[in-house]
Structure 1
């Protein structure tokens, strides 16, 4: 669950991880122009991006009350047993679609605990409380074994063998991280509190990465360089506006009873 920041006294836009992933998938579908090569394989990249957090579905269906905020637990504050439940769930789901989807989803899970394979300085595995270390390492070892198996499946088929190469996979992984981080930029922070940020290591082609800066400009967001098909494209994410409650709350019931609303963003070339 993602609990967006909000001005004092205002409700928070609360987004399930599945809806966050669907938002990310819109970026994957629109990515590509003369400066940036479109993701390949396009359909599978779009699918895994749009479903990269599918393992959260059960956790977000019954979100727990965070007494510190009076809202459901935000992503980074999720109780560790629930967080570990999501780790293998997303690769399990994506693997059923295609070995490539399962492999990239597994890399996403593993990377979250290991500094996104060097793209981030945050090493989550080192911050896990001692009582959960064994479970976390067992889950992550399972993902390494899954990755080895899925790579072997891809290599066994001449049509997909190239997709199992380290260089190709890491390029696809970096694209997934860009789509994820761009979605998180909007999902985690209220529009009035967003500032200019730079997302690094965005693949422009097989041998070139670019850094992309996002800057709020009026009612839009300017990206430089611009990686999508057309300037002025709009993207949307569903969520629910919720206010804090002092008492323990059945947030699953509240979420089911609260109508979804859309937050829309417009991206323009700088």
Structure 2
């Protein structure tokens, strides 16, 4: 993921490259702090936190080997990966989750199939920078002549992941200890929570601090209770490094989180993201979230 370099960046550094592992580190911080008197804590907490922190873990190896943009000579965004990459990493991410616990695998699988279907209309903020990236990648794929078989591959993958989801739900339903987790209310409550963490993290990962709008960004269907109730959380940039959330969903006030990445500059001599990051400079942004006054 790319954003413009901060104004304080060293001369020549034009962008900040945020790897998927760094995106997930931010997601994990948000998930770990979720819940207060107005927002029920995640349940089951440990498994939910694992799913949130690993929902895109299948990208780790792909992320570093992504080729550079041949014109701009900077890392490509993940949506510009070769055809078939998204389904490959979706399954691998779900495998990683399932190796920890079947419920983690279920939630991660749902997350990835949801990405192909508008997040099922079940939450997630409409992050402007992400919408712009989706539009640009669509134009790029059309111009590059993406194989006609790509959509068929996605349909086959969706069918396989649906089978995984049904298998896991059936197994968990047969255990009295886990059956409540796969009730319609509980499962979609946890899915919505993951979409909130993911898109809130994307809001920070895809745009530099000075490029984020000062107008509120709405995150709909943020769960307030395990029974399925939800609300819209509005996030507003109020000052450099400071953002309000209304209503406030975290258990610490203020909540300070960090977003790491690498400051990079165009270099036509390099082959991939790993080579560029190796020559870059570490940058850690500190973000403070607080209740609206």
Match of 1:255 among 252, 269, 277: 277
TM-score, scaled relative to structure 2: 0.84
Note if 1:81 corresponds to 2:80: no
Q: 2: CA distance between counterparts of 1:10 and 1:53?
A: 27
**Equivalent residues, number:** 266
CA 68–168 in structure 1, closer or farther in 2 if over 3 Å, else same: farther
Q: 2: CA distance between counterparts of 1:66 and 1:82?
A: 17
Q: 2: CA distance between counterparts of 1:14 and 1:250?
A: 12
Note if 1:30 corresponds to 2:27: no
Q: How does 1:141-220 map to 2 (within 5 A)?
A: 141-195=159-213, 196-205=216-225, 206-219=227-240, 220=242
CA 181–21 in structure 1, closer or farther in 2 if over 3 Å, else same: same
Q: 2: CA distance between counterparts of 1:27 and 1:113?
A: 24
Q: 2: CA distance between counterparts of 1:74 and 1:108?
A: 19
Say whether the 8 Å CA contact 2:219–2:234 is kept in structure 1.
Answer: yes
Match of 1:53 among 53, 56, 59: 56
CA deviations over 1:198-218 (Å, ceiling 9, x no partner): 111101112421111111111
1:173 shift after superposition:
0.2
Q: How does 1:224-239 map to 2 (within 5 A)?
A: 224-239=246-261
In the other structure, the counterpart of 2:47 is 44
TM-score, scaled relative to structure 1: 0.91
CA deviations over 1:140-179 (Å, ceiling 9, x no partner): 1111010011111211211101111122111100000000
Say whether the 8 Å CA contact 2:19–2:261 is kept in structure 1.
Answer: yes
1:63 shift after superposition:
1.7
Say whether the 8 Å CA contact 1:6–1:189 is kept in structure 2.
Answer: no
1:86 shift after superposition:
1.0
Q: How does 1:62-81 map to 2 (within 5 A)?
A: 62-81=65-84
Question: Secondary structure, in 3 states, of the residue corresponding to 2:271?
Answer: coil
